[in-house]
Structure 1
Amino acid sequence: MKTVDKYLISIVGPTAIGKTALSIKLANHFNSEIISADSRQFFSEMQIGTAAPTPDELSAAKHHFIHHKSITEDYNVGAFEKDAIKTLNQLFKTQDIVIMVGGSGLYVGAVTKGLDDFPEVDKSIRQELNIKLEKEGIQSLQKQLKELDKVSYESIAIDNPHRVIRALEICIGSGKPYSSFLNKEKNKRPFKTISVGLTAERELIYNRINKRVDIMMQQGLLEEVKSLLPFKNLNALNTVGYKELFNYLDGEWELDFAVSEIKKNTRRFAKRQLTWFKKNEETLWFDYTTPLETIVEKLEQKIIEP
């Protein structure tokens, strides 16, 4: 199929829904390569707990941005945007279609739309917020954000202290809500994006998540987390599946409780993912059991008749 325009097919949806499997099928169908926009899968030390593609899956299609960084490196969404766009520009020289897959809404949006432009704020604000986090806990920061910017409080990953502090420092430093800087006019992209969403009944999604966590534990997640214990304060490891087991290893929780918390927090994360991705009204949503042929047919219609 010959196309004039360049297309990025972005596969989104909640965790454990089957995005990786679909991305490989589509990459093979379109003779293309895959960009990962999953911020947890960037780090080479985090293999099991991030549900990264298996060696077989990685060999089934060419992947970019899987385990290409160390948890000790400072790698953020701004750096990823630059790297991803550079890689896409290279790929589009020889390919008309590239596949992107990932459940990190902020990182997906950075590639498809560009990042929001935030004002510079005094670094001391972040230092003070970090001190408050240590002394009073994240609930105190969450309460402060709810008072200053209810829109952000209801839309960001509220259990992630890094995200809460980022929103608060903009609110405090600029005197304006963090959310007021979002969704402004962004950089135009030299490609068109078609967003494909996978979904299922919520109960089914939650059951898949619970099973995935059990499988991760069987695969050795606890041993992986043990090996990372000296680095537990790094931002990359402040993530579901790792922080709960750190609590177990620190003697704060029983193992069964830690595993149940991983399942609960992953279910919450999936709920936020769905809320985030449902905002894009142009996304083509499919049940996770939809045959590949049906999805390809819809995509080719969009490409031929955009």
Structure 2
Amino acid sequence: MNKVLISVTGPTAIGKTRLGILLANHFNTEIISADSRQFYKEMSIGTAVPTKHELTSAVHHFIQHKSIHEPYSVGDFEKDALKKLDELFQDHEVVIMVGGSGLYVDAITKGLDAFPKVGKSIRENLNKQLTNDGIEILQNMLSTLDPEHYNRIDIHNPHRLIRALEICIGTGRPYSSFLNKPKDKRNFKVLSVGLKADRTVVYERINERVDLMMKEGLLDEVKLLKSTRDLNALQTVGYKELFEYLDGNWTLDFAISEIKKNTRRFAKRQNTWFKKSLETLYVDYNYKENEILAMMDKAVMELQHERT
């Protein structure tokens, strides 16, 4: 087994796209995107989709290939991305994957956990509670039923809360008890490369990115999506806050400050998720290209010759 998937991870705004393109060009290969919000064609500015120049610098897959109106789960992505990888590995020894969505990265590198089926009525009731009573009641329920998972996920994402709660209620067991079970082995090896930087650097880059998004027209993008704001895809930092501004609840300056704050929180959660992987090769965000390429050549060669 000498096929290698290089998985580039790290917090938002740290430069994963740039490194992914550098590696794709070096290995003469293509890129799988594992950013769950960049899947949607209606969401360009707020998800920092690669620029036209970046998209022409290397072939990308799973960028803006879906509409926000099309349900697309992590399970769908796992199936589609593994099929695409099989195709790419016919012609390439190495493929690059870039993404900051930890669950989606893990779906490809490790496989998804299997969950039992539960009655649809549970989800329907939870959605009613969300509509009638607000998200806080769901947060409190999960904190009681599965404190371990409560501390791991974005508790402001209703989709994630409801998914965990329906398993807890339907099975009588914590959602977390179904995680990390043995899964099918992949027919490729994974080289996980994590970009790192001091927290102050990451936060500064996040603030600069949000300011740039506003200059590029994020507010206009959000205005066009206001009528579909309840869709799961739009429960996303950068969109939720500007909906509050458009509703007249917040000033624009406050909404922007909330985007920056919530993006910083998201970056912190990303770091926590990716640090679980003990095999990750960490690289400073301010790397020298010749040094990192030599490092990648060596790491790929070692993986390819490693006994399984």
Shorter-chain TM-score range: over 0.9
2:275 alignment counterpart: 278
Percent identical pairs in the alignment equals: 64
Asked whether 1:304 is paired with 2:301, we answer yes
Asked whether 1:142 is paired with 2:139, we answer yes
- TM-superposition CA deviations, 1:214-251 (whole Å, max 9, x none): 00000000000011111111111111001111111111
The CA distance in 1 between the partners of 2:60 and 2:272, in whole Å, is: 27
**Which AA in structure 1 matches 2:24?**
A
Deviation at 1:292, TM superposition (A): 2.3
1:16 alignment counterpart: 13
Q: Secondary structure at the match of 2:192?
A: strand
- TM-superposition CA deviations, 1:56-100 (whole Å, max 9, x none): 000000000000001111111011111100100000001000000
**Alignment match of 2:97 (pick from 95, 100, 106):** 100
- Correspondence list, 1:68-83, <5 A: 68-83=65-80
Deviation at 1:301, TM superposition (A): 2.1
- TM-superposition CA deviations, 1:174-194 (whole Å, max 9, x none): 111101111111121110000
**Alignment match of 2:158 (pick from 157, 161, 174):** 161
Deviation at 1:254, TM superposition (A): 1.1
Q: Secondary structure at the match of 1:279?
A: coil
The CA distance in 2 between the partners of 1:161 and 1:39, in whole Å, is: 16
1:31 alignment counterpart: 28
**Which AA in structure 2 matches 1:254?**
T
The CA distance in 1 between the partners of 2:134 and 2:292, in whole Å, is: 45
1:257 alignment counterpart: 254
What TM-score results when the alignment is normalised by the length of structure 2?
A: 0.97
2:306 alignment counterpart: none
1:186 alignment counterpart: 183
2:232 alignment counterpart: 235
The CA distance in 1 between the partners of 2:121 and 2:286, in whole Å, is: 50
Deviation at 1:143, TM superposition (A): 1.3
The CA distance in 2 between the partners of 1:267 and 1:5, in whole Å, is: 38
**Alignment match of 1:119 (pick from 116, 119, 140):** 116
The CA distance in 1 between the partners of 2:238 and 2:300, in whole Å, is: 39
Q: Secondary structure at the match of 1:155?
A: coil
Asked whether 1:42 is paired with 2:39, we answer yes
**Alignment match of 1:295 (pick from 283, 292, 295):** 292
- Count of paired positions: 303
Pairwise CA RMSD of aligned residues?
0.9
Deviation at 1:206, TM superposition (A): 0.8
The CA distance in 2 between the partners of 1:123 and 1:258, in whole Å, is: 36
- TM-superposition CA deviations, 1:246-271 (whole Å, max 9, x none): 11111111111111111111100000
Deviation at 1:22, TM superposition (A): 0.4
Of the structure 1 ranges 44-53 and 283-292, higher mean CA displacement relative to structure 2 is found in 283-292
Q: Secondary structure at the match of 2:117?
A: coil
**Which AA in structure 1 matches 2:163?**
R
Q: Secondary structure at the match of 2:151?
A: helix
Asked whether 1:85 is paired with 2:91, we answer no
- TM-superposition CA deviations, 1:108-137 (whole Å, max 9, x none): 011111110001011111111111112222
- Structure 1 segments of 4+ aligned residues over 6 angstroms from their partners: none
What TM-score results when the alignment is normalised by the length of structure 1?
A: 0.97
**Alignment match of 1:219 (pick from 210, 216, 219):** 216
Deviation at 1:195, TM superposition (A): 0.3
